[in-house]
Amino acid sequence: VHRLRSVDNLFVVVQEFKDYQFKENKEDALKDLEDLVKNLPWTDPLKVWELNNSLKKKKTKRKKPNLQSTASKEKLNEDGEEEGEDQKDASKEEDCAQNAAGAEPAGSQGSEKTEGVASRSGGEEEEEEDNEQLDAKEELQAGSGRETKAGDGKTSEGEAKVLKFRVTCNRAGDKHSFTSNEAARDFGGAVQEHFQWKADMTNFDVEVLLNIHNNEVVVGIALTEESLHRRNITHFGPTTLRSTLAYGMLRLCDPQPTDIIVDPMCGTGAIPIEGATEWPSCYHIAGDNNPQAVKRAANNICSLLKKNESKESSSSLGIPLDIIQWDICNLPLRTGSVDIIVTDMPFGKRIGSKKKNWDLYPACLTEMGRICTPGTGRAVLLTQDKKCFAKALSRMGHIWRKAQTVWVNVGGLHAAVYLLKRT
Ligand SMILES: C[S@@+](CC[C@H](N)C(=O)[O-])C[C@H]1O[C@@H](n2cnc3c(N)ncnc32)[C@H](O)[C@@H]1O
């Protein structure tokens, strides 16, 4: 499952409650969550967690501790530089907090701040969907050299080792009387008491997840240390797409060996880099009109090549991808020469504007129609500006036929991926 390309985070489910009845009173609701801990079926999920650790140890050499600090990664987030997409929905009632007994967070329900604990904190969390952790957990799992068993709390040498843990709570919904901080704190306290584990927000062996979405509650144990969508990108831009979503878009158009695949608005290159990595027998061409974006994309390719070199893999010879600065309205490509176009269009929020999209989208569809092979060519386009897109497409019936629409959540926004076939 770690090789699945469209998965952001993996966890094993301890128990799922489809219609959990939260008490209205905060104290009562939190007490119920606390009481839940001792009644959950932990044994099998912990075996899966243990198996996951042993597989990881076989698969990877011991990793060096992750030198990039949580703080510096958070800085990227604050700047809006790293997050999967630019678009955020401030109306969403969502938050995330990590906690465990003994780590009392600051902040009230109103602010949802989680200062003092290792988390992405503050108002930003209310707006975001994903709450993945960035901590250097592998230090523990690969670095100590001691096999840790969750069940008996012993190392392979027989000595007792108290496991370290943290609880991460992701909460979404406006009907809860408690914050994610409070849920994580009280649930964490009960976990500590139940297992006699030690709370540690940064160096933990076990990460217990408490996901609350309206009336749905899922308790899980994390199997991934870092969100898998970050795999290709080192130089982030304001609208960098998740590699996992890029993979899904590429897959939707079913690339065949020798296909020419173009991303005409590539930004930092998330789509073509994922494409060149996963479909190396296709040729990938990408461009953007913003020189800074082209530079970032080129830097991302360089980083990937360096990484491949150190792995001595077959791909260390290079990747089948060119990046060019161009304008989508006038592409330097021959008519009918491209098999597939996959792109993430400006939503008109951080990049461009909704007003500009009324001119840009029809021009894009016309030029993409020109370069795409009639009869077999296809395009997969992502946008949140659905109204503008629908209008532009309705005038292009002679060039493009809509074959499928897939709804996607991009950074909390309701966006669409359209699969178009060239007529
Ligand atoms: C939503 S972003 C793409 C983000 C990209 N998928 C990534 O992972 O970084 C849209 C991109 O379209 C580019 N763009 C806007 N107008 C363009 C044009 N006329 N020609 C080429 N690129 C354009 C912007 O510079 C921006 O990088």
For residue 316, pLDDT over 70 is answered with: no
More confident residue, 86 or 51: 51
d(CA 275, CA 269): 10
CATH of domain 9-97+135-226: 3.30.2300.10
Atom of ligand 1 at shortest range from CA of 233:
8
Q: Please state the rounded mean pLDDT for residues 251-278.
A: 97
Lay out the sheet containing 321-325: strands in order across: 321-325, 283-288, 260-263, 340-344, 378-383, 413-422, 400-410
* Predicted pLDDT at 95: 62
Q: Using CA atoms, how far apart are residues 18 and 217, in angstroms rounded to an integer? A: 7
**pLDDT at residue 225, rounded to an integer:** 83
pLDDT band at 136 (very low <50, low <70, confident <90, very high): very low
Domain 231-422 fold is Rossmann fold (3.40.50)
pLDDT in tens, 356-392: 999 999 999 999 999 999 999 999 999 999 999 999 9
What's the Cα-to-Cα distance from 89 to each of 81, 208, 242, 349, rounded to whole Å? Answer: 17, 27, 17, 11
Q: Whose CA is nearest to atom 4 of ligand 1?
A: 267
pLDDT tens figures, 203-262: 999 999 999 999 999 999 999 988 888 888 999 999 999 999 999 999 999 999 999 999
| Ligand 1 atom showing the smallest separation from residue 290 Cα | 25
Higher pLDDT residue, 158 or 133? Answer: 158
Residue 209 CA to ligand 1 center (angstroms) comes to 35
- Any ligand 1 atom below 6 A from CB of 265: yes
Mutational pocket test of ligand 1: of 240, 288, 382, 408, the residue with most ligand atoms within 8 Å of the beta carbon: 288
For the entire predicted model, the pTM comes to 0.73
Instruction: Copy the structure tokens of residue 113.
Output: 């701040």
> Ligand 1 pocket: which of 290, 355, 367, 385 to mutate (most atoms <8 Å of CB)?
290
Q: What is the residue extent of each domain of the chain?
A: 9-97+135-226, 231-422
Work out the average pLDDT over 4-21: 95
Whose C-alpha lies nearest to ligand 1, atom 27?
A: 267
Q: What CA–CA distance (Å, rounded) separates 288 from 269?
A: 9
pLDDT of residue 349: 86
